[in-house]
């Protein structure tokens, strides 16, 4: 997807803040990578579990940073918070630790929470809100019945939801890729992307770019010292001072 | 093949001074200089020659003159012609407090003495060449050292040499073209290599010497040369071990090679090594130097900088980031002395004449000039020993 197409797609999919979202995602993930890699280095552990928490860090930072945009909507989902624009949920997904992995080869639906992204849900805490109050008259059996009813109601209410997934591949030594695209979840648990764009080079954060037309330190003619033969000159001032 | 006083010596026997003449004109300072150049203590030299350490001390303090039969042994052990010990030619005298040393903390007094002996010899060779060849005038701005700071000194030198704000191209060729002698020590000499680099402005023509240790990477080498330029401009009197002077020379080098006004807008906001590598190759400085610049600008945390170093070390230990050798960059290889010797040769003053005037072995002349031995390498192809 070319840059201009990418902006158009972002606007069509996410609404007026789409362009800003597109620009900020890469720097959010870079920043998270930097911080988690530093934390891993500071921890001085062989095990990379510290860095492994980057999935949670990215999830939180998406909400914190992108949530400030005017049209952002924060939606709770099974104990987590997600940010959505124009009714489209954004979900960062660390799909690989290595450079060469193929996004399509990695299963996405490895948890109920992930599956639930693709279905409208009322927050479970809300479902249970009705019975958070004291109901001493209800027996344990009756409570379970109420829960089952709530679940059935929830399933009846659910419908498909639009999701933009942001897959990224990284490990403590490198951030290899950041992409994004609208995805649908297949029955086999794998994602299918309608389109995909790399965000790694979008908004890299340099204030000025090196003008490659400028000559580098090793370009151009080499100056040579101005030497000359003295011939039969007498030994005189030879200290080079003018 | 070496050039000692043998049957195959390049100096004819008629040209060799007699032992009597050398003994009569014995210069104790030459013995000290040769001993320092060889990196030997008085005790070690005495052991090699077969005399007492006290005798060496007495020779060097002018109390006694070496016996005729000791002179050739001294010459052999110090790898100089016997005539080296005689007076009659200018000697470049540099006191230990008049030279600046990199890596001073890791060097011994003996290493520094050896470095000083080398710098004296570089100057003596230059002086001998200047009798035949006109060198460029020394062209350095004069600073008020009492009030000069490293940053403004870097700006002053850039302005004086008309460099603007772009990368400093061909730093060593540029430095030589402004009359400063630069020598890249070719000796695979562990003692002096530990010194890293040294310079002095106490001799009439400033001399900067860089050792092989600092020449493994062109970027480290350029920073080292700029560091020594900082010393030449800022510090007349060296204070061995003065970390303040070392810091100031580093600040000078960083500002001279990468002016803050320019680099601050080019540095990435995160430790992006590929971006830093791009900048490194454009400005001719190491990625480490740019990481320090990032720390100065406060654009990234110290932890990120530390991680940047860890990444770099990992890349280097994995041989994924090989250093760029100096000889791949012709503008960074010293050439002024060799070119002066070539011009002198054109008017009949050959390297052998130069060796004769300096009373050095020709190999030493080539070493200090930084030129290769043109003679073919010979090897034994027939073992004459009986089976």
Q: Which of B137, B174, B278 sits opposite A242 (nearest CB)?
A: B137
Task: State CA B371 to chain mean position distance.
Answer: 15
Is A41 in Cβ contact with B133 (below 8 Å)?
A: no
Asked if A218 is an interface residue toward chain B (Cβ–Cβ < 8 A), one would say yes
Interface residue B336 vs chain A (CB under 8 A): yes
pLDDT (tens place) for every residue of chain A, 242 residues total? 444 678 888 888 998 888 889 989 988 998 898 888 888 877 878 888 899 999 999 999 999 999 999 889 999 888 889 999 988 999 999 999 887 667 877 899 888 888 888 876 544 434 433 444 444 555 676 566 556 655 654 554 445 689 999 999 988 877 888 899 999 998 888 898 888 888 876 544 333 334 445 688 999 999 999 999 885 544 444 444 43
Question: Which of B90, B161, B177, B223 to mutate: most A Cβ within 10 Å?
Answer: B177
Alpha carbon of B179: minimum distance to chain A alpha carbons (Å):
7
Chain A: give the shortest CA distance to residue B161, in Å.
Answer: 12
Determine, for residues A38 and B283 on separate chains, whether the beta-carbon distance falls below 8 Å. no
In chain A, what is the straight-line distance between the N-terminal and C-terminal CA atoms, in Å? Answer: 65
CB of A226 within 8 Å of a chain B CB? The answer is yes
- Asked if the Cβ–Cβ distance from B136 to A225 is below 8 Å, we say yes
Question: Would you state the pLDDT for residue A48?
Answer: 85
Cβ within 8 Å, pair A225-B310 = no
Rounded to a whole number of angstroms, the distance from the CA of B53 to the nearest CA of chain A is 38
Q: Would you say the C-alpha torsion A9, A14, A15, A21 has a positive or negative sign?
A: negative
Cβ <8 Å between B132 and A173: no
Strands A174-185 and A88-96: unpaired
Those residues whose C-beta lies under 8 Å from the C-beta of residue B373, and which sit 6 or more positions away, are B1, B363, B366
Report how far residue B225's alpha carbon sits from residue A148's, in angstroms, rounded to the nearest whole number: 79
Closest CA to B320 of A168, A216, A204, A173: A173
B135/A240 CB distance under 8 A: yes
pLDDT at site A212: 43
Structure tokens, B169? 């191209």
The segments of chain B whose pLDDT lies below 50 read: 1-8, 10, 13-14, 104-105, 188, 190, 386-387
The whole-angstrom separation of Cα B77 and Cα A228 is 38
What's CA B260's distance to the chain center, in Å?
29
Q: Strand pairing partners for A177?
A: A169
Residue B133 at interface with chain A, using a CB cutoff of 8 Å:
yes
Chain B residue with Cα closest to A213: B282
Which chain B residues have a beta carbon less than 8 Å from that of A235? Answer: 131
In 3D space, the residue among A98, A91, A89 whose CA is nearest the CA of residue A58 turns out to be A91
The reply to whether residue A240 touches residue B177, judged by beta carbons under 8 angstroms, is: no
Quickly list H helices, chain B: 19-24, 28-38, 42-49, 53-60, 71-78, 109-130, 150-160, 171-177, 190-195, 218-234, 243-257, 260-263, 273-283, 287-297, 302-317, 336-346, 351-358, 362-369
pLDDT the model gives residue A59: 95
pLDDT score of B240: 58
Question: Are B131 and A235 inside 8 Å of each other by CB?
Answer: yes
Give the one of B137, B171, B346 whose C-beta lies nearest to A241's C-beta: B137
State the pLDDT at residue B169: 96
The C-alpha atoms of residue B132 and residue B339 are separated, in whole angstroms, by 12
Tell me the H-state helices in chain A. Answer: 3-14, 18-43, 49-52, 54-61, 112-117, 124-129, 140-157
Q: Against a cut of 0.85, is the pTM above it?
A: no
What is the token pair recorded at B331? 């503008």
3-state secondary structure of A123: coil
B282 touches chain A (CB under 8 A): yes
CB contacts < 8 A, A to B, total 135
Q: Cα separation of B45 and B263, whole Å? A: 52
Would you say the C-alpha torsion B224, B249, B208, B340 has a positive or negative sign? Answer: positive
Instruction: List the single residue in B166, B170, B222 with the smallest CB-CB distance to A214.
Output: B166
> Whose CA is closest to B286, among B256, B264, B254, B260?
B254
Asked if residue B326 lies in contact with residue B296, where contact means CB atoms within 8 angstroms, the answer is: no
Nearest CA in chain B to A209: B266
Segment 120-179 of chain A within 8 Å of chain B by CB: 173
Of the residues B92, B135, B181, the best mutation for testing chain A's interface (the one with the most A CB atoms within 10 Å of its CB) is: B135
Which chain A residues are Cβ-neighbours of B310 within 8 angstroms? Answer: 41
Task: Summarize pLDDT for B143-162 with one digit per residue, the tens.
Answer: 887 888 999 999 999 999 99
pLDDT at B374: 61
The CA distance from B209 to the nearest CA of chain A, in Å, is: 17
Name, in order, each residue with C-beta under 8 angstroms of B294's C-beta and a sequence gap of 6 or more: B267, B268, B271, B300, B305, B308
């Amino acid at each position: 997807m070319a840059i201009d197409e990418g902006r158009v797609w972002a606007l069509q999919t996410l609404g007026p803040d789409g362009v800003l979202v597109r620009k900020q995602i890469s720097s959010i993930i870079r920043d998270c990578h930097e911080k988690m890699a530093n934390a891993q280095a500071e921890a001085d552990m062989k095990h990379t579990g510290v860095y492994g928490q980057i999935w949670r860090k990215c999830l939180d930072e998406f909400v914190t940073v992108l949530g400030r945009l005017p049209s952002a909507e924060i939606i709770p989902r099974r104990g987590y918070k997600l940010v959505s624009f124009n009714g489209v949920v954004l979900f960062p997904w660390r799909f690989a630790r290595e450079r060469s992995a193929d996004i399509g080869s990695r299963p996405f639906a490895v948890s109920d929470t992930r599956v639930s992204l693709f279905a409208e849900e009322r927050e479970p805490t809300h479902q249970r809100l009705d019975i958070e109050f004291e109901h001493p008259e209800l027996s344990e059996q009756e409570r379970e019945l109420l829960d089952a009813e709530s679940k059935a109601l929830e399933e009846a209410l659910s419908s498909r939801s639009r999701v933009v997934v942001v897959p990224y591949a990284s490990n403590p030594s490198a951030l290899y890729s950041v992409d994004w695209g609208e995805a649908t979840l297949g029955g086999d648990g794998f994602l299918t992307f309608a389109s995909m764009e790399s965000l790694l080079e979008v908004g890299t954060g340099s204030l000025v770019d090196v003008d490659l037309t400028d000559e580098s330190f090793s370009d151009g003619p080499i100056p040579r010292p101005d030497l000359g033969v003295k011939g039969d000159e007498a030994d005189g001032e030879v200290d080079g001072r003018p | 093949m070496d050039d000692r006083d043998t049957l195959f010596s390049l100096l004819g026997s008629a040209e060799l001074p007699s032992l009597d003449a050398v003994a009569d004109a014995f210069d104790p300072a030459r013995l000290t200089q040769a001993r320092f150049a060889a990196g030997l203590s008085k005790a070690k030299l005495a052991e090699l020659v077969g005399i007492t350490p006290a005798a060496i001390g007495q020779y060097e303090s002018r109390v006694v003159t070496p016996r005729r039969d000791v002179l050739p042994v001294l010459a052999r052990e110090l790898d100089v012609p016997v005539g080296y010990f005689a007076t009659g030619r200018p000697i470049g005298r540099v006191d230990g407090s008049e030279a600046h040393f990199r890596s001073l903390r890791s060097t011994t007094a003996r290493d520094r003495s050896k470095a000083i002996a080398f710098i004296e010899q570089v100057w003596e060779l230059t002086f001998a060449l200047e009798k035949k060849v006109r060198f460029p005038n020394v062209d350095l701005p004069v600073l008020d050292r009492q009030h000069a700071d490293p940053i403004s000194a870097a700006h002053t030198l850039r302005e004086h040499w008309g460099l603007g704000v772009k990368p400093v191209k061909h730093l060593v060729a540029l430095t030589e073209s402004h009359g400063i002698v630069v020598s890249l020590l070719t000796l695979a000499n562990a003692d002096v290599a530990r010194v890293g680099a040294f310079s002095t402005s106490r001799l009439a023509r400033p001399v900067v010497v860089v050792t092989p240790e600092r020449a493994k990477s062109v970027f480290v080498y350029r920073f080292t040369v700029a560091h020594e330029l900082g010393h030449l401009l800022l510090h007349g009197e060296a204070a061995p071990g003065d970390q303040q002077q070392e810091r100031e020379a580093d600040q000078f080098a960083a500002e001279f090679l990468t002016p803050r006004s320019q680099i601050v807008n080019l540095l990435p906001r995160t430790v992006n090594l590929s971006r830093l590598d791009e900048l490194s190759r454009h400005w001719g400085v190491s990625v480490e130097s740019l990481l320090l610049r990032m720390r100065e600008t406060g654009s990234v945390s110290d932890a990120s900088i530390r991680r940047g170093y860890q990444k770099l070390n990992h890349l280097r230990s994995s041989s994924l980031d090989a250093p760029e050798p100096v000889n791949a960059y012709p503008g960074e290889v010293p050439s002024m002395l060799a070119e002066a010797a070539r011009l002198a040769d054109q008017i009949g003053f050959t390297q052998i004449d130069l060796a004769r005037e300096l009373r050095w072995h020709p190999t030493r002349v080539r070493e200090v000039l930084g030129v290769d031995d043109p003679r073919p390498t010979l090897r034994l192809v027939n073992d004459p020993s009986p089976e």
